Amino acid sequence: MTFEIDVWVNEFLVKIRQLFGERLLFVGLQGSYNRGEATENSDIDMVVILDQVTPADLRQYSDMLDGLPNREKACGFIAGQQELRHWEPPDLFQFYHDTTPLIGTLDELIPAISRQDVQRAIRLGTCNIYHICGHNLVHAKEPRTLMGLYKAATFTVQAIYFEQTGDYVSRKVDLLPLLQPEERAILQAGMDLKAEPEKAAEGFDAYADQLFNWASEVITLYSLSD
């Protein structure tokens, strides 16, 4: 049976309004379905912001999702407004730009994101990639971990382009030709691995070396840009 994201989202919106009523401040769609890049294995990344969130709310939300079709695809983020307003701004950069509002707006729910916050998001992203990539090269040597790191690198590449130009480009195919050669190579490699996952094992050393070296260079570059 063909999965239709619009039908699923519409049913989700009806159910969540019934569940939380006026407590519901925001609902948005993130991820590959939001970007028009979803495959049959993609999750549905929903963002839900309430006046506040308790463990009981989380259980009720989970029960609501259990009543929807394709429950196994449901994913995402749920939080209270005060927690979101006090969240680390670098973490909110990608969150804000990769979310399409369906109910409400994020503009009044998150703090202003400065250029320094974007630079810090870049540093944090590449530091994590560098750390895990090095661990994977030495210890796990796991192709799936490498693929996950390239997926994470996509978000960092988007942040780098935004920091350089002030433009956020969500779709990888649109972003690719706009990038500098170093970031273009990383994004292209990630796209290749998503299209042909077997390459992560076949070319593990080359892909891992490329990613590790790029992360090292970006960490150094953005440590000098404060």
Residue-wise pLDDT for 111-148, tens only, equals 999 999 999 999 999 999 999 999 999 999 999 999 99
What is the rounded distance in angstroms from the CA atom of residue 2 to the CA atom of residue 60? 28
What is the rounded distance in angstroms from the CA atom of residue 166 to the CA atom of residue 48? 27
Q: Is the pLDDT of residue 69 over 50?
A: yes
- The CATH code of the domain at 5-103 is 3.30.460.10
Per the CB < 8 A criterion, the answer to whether 195 and 41 are in contact is no
Residue 223: pLDDT band by 50, 70, 90 thresholds? Answer: confident
pLDDT mean over 54-83: 97
Higher-confidence residue: 175 or 1? 175
Where are the domains positioned within the chain? 5-103, 115-223
Residue-wise pLDDT for 147-165, tens only, equals 999 999 999 999 999 999 9
Per the CB < 8 A criterion, the answer to whether 191 and 185 are in contact is no
